[in-house]
Amino acid sequence: MLDANLKNQLQTYLQNLKRPVELVVSADESKKSQELASLANDIASLSSLVSIKEAQGSRTPAMTVVNPELNTQISFAGLPMGHEFTSLVLALLHTGGHPIKLSDEVIEQIRNLPGKYEFETYVSLTCQNCPDVIQALNMMAAINPNITNVMIDGALFQDEVAERNVMAVPSVYLNGEVFAAGRISIGEILNKLDTGAASRKAEELSQKAPYEVLVVGGGPAGAAAAIYAARKGLRTGVVADKFGGQVSETVGIENFISVKETEGPKLVANLEAHVRDYEVDIMDNQKAVKLASDGLFELELASGAKLRSRTVLLATGARWREMNVPGEKEYRGKGVAYCPHCDGPLFKGKRVAVIGGGNSGIEAAIDLANIVEHVTVLEFDSKLRADDVLQRKAASMGNIHIITQALTTEVTGDGTRVNGLNYTDRATGENHHIALAGIFVQIGLVPNAEWLKGTVELTPHGEIIVDERGQTSIPGVFAAGDVTNSPYKQIIIAMGSGANASLGAFDYLIRHSDDSTETKSTDTKAA
């Protein structure tokens, strides 16, 4: 099942095992079952601490990674390859006693959760967001024997997916009930399970000493800003709803100079590792809701926590733009999707639409055409805006139909899932209906700056207006990246603007000295 190179790499990892690991395999005569059995045999051949046991489970094919001593269980229903192979490797390591990269505080919180938690997580093996969720739940399952998680390949277990009406991944169920949809971190999971965690964390954050630079956002702009501030010896904090931002949902990246190609999650991991090389206080899973000033700037978080800083650097990025038509919100996750790589496999052999004829829209159509029966692209303009090379590729595929001057007016469904959409031909005024199983929206981005309306000056499109140093309309408040009025929204440009704004904040600080005792003490610590 595994080639020689992968076996060699895996054997090196398995040398970190400290205790026995048992692979409980549920297989039949199907091709996928035989592939899973072959994978299990390959793994067992690479370490004397790994053994195999056959047992018929509720799902086949499936494999459960068991710690016989602690009775922890991590299951994979399907063949954990693609993006999820890393999840399998980590499950083996964590079950086998390799240290889990979580703080002692978080490990203790997981270990002390009361009750029993049976998680089921539906994924697609091409979903770049799914491994983060699987690995978070698997780490919890490796720590607490009362927590189990099973990864379910939605493309393989289609009857189960249909029965539960799963039309977006990752979809997480807890004890048989819907728990979460989309990317979710360990911190967010714990906040939902441990109801007192959020208030305890808010109290802890509010006690922190003032920062010299407080970065709001953990995407490329925020990461670059934090690194540049820390390198100047400034007391630096980063507040992020989720580290990595929009980049974590990007698959192929081929225009990041000096890196021929990479993937969003890999770039995000490198960004975070780079930031953590410096004395930067990272506060993840925290959403900013208000910015005020009373001598120092005060940033209020959704949890109720309040952070103070001499300067603030806003790098909150952007999110997918919605169509804002009837039915879109009702059927979100029930046929309306925004990530073709994640959710595309759930629509195998079906008819879908892509809304938007820019690069992202045509790229989505090309990717989906290799999975689904037919793709209809609807573009509002009279012509496509995608690069010529993408247009030629789409035209060469026999199952992509492009409609221009199409105004989508409604998403239709049967109450549980999408069954089509209505659109108006802008050239003739005629109304049309297309029968569909899924709709992928790819119409650009919206800046995450609504919470700043009335605080800093924004463009009519809601972007933060900045000058050449990245300063906003408020002295001491800077901004960078996709949330600003920068005309080009690119990763490399966001990083550059983050560095630029951070240097602007440093320049502001050296020109506006603060003689308060509190700030002097933090300056000393930073030095």
- Residues with a catalytic annotation lie at 339, 342-343
Q: How many Cα atoms sit within 13 Å of 74 on the Cβ side?
A: 27
Q: How far apart are the first and last CA of the chain?
A: 54
On the 0-12 / 13-18 / 19+ scale of CB atoms within 10 A, 258 is: exposed
Helices (H), ranges, 232-328? 264-276
As to burial, measured by CB atoms within 10 angstroms (0-12 exposed, 13-18 middle, 19+ buried), residue 418 is buried
Reduce the secondary structure of 333-399 to three states and give it as a string. CCCEECCHHHHHHHHCCCEEEEECCCHHHHHHHHHHHCCCCEEEEECCCCCCCCCHHHHHHHHHCCC
For 491, residues 6+ apart whose C-beta sits below 8 A from its C-beta are 220, 247, 250, 253, 256, 267
Number of residues in the chain: 527
Closest by CA to 290, choosing from 277, 282, 280, 301, is 301
186 C-beta neighbours (distance < 10 Å), count: 20
3-state secondary structure labels for all residues of 437-487: CEEEECCCEEECCHHHECCECECCCCCECCCCCCECCCCCEEECHHHECCC
Lookup: tokens for 463: 């972007």
What are the backbone angles phi and psi of residue 500, rounded to the nearest 5°? Answer: -60, -45
Measured CA to CA, the distance from residue 48 to residue 14 in angstroms comes to 10
CB 369 within 8 A of CB 397: yes
Q: Measuring CA to CA, how many Å separate 320 from each of 68, 387, 448?
A: 45, 20, 10
Q: How many CB atoms lie within 10 A of CB 281?
A: 17
Q: What is the DSSP letter of 100?
A: P
**Structural tokens at position 215:** 């970065």
Write the CA distances from 17 to 21, 67, 84, 131, integer angstroms: 8, 11, 20, 21
CA 312, CA 471: separation in Å to the nearest integer? 10
Produce one character per residue of 49-68: b if its CB has 16 or more CB atoms within 10 Å, e if not.
bbeeeeeebebbbbbbbbbe
Q: How far apart are CA 476 and CA 236, in angstroms?
A: 14
Q: Please state, in angstroms and rounded to a whole number, the distance separating the CA atoms of residues 177 and 117.
A: 11
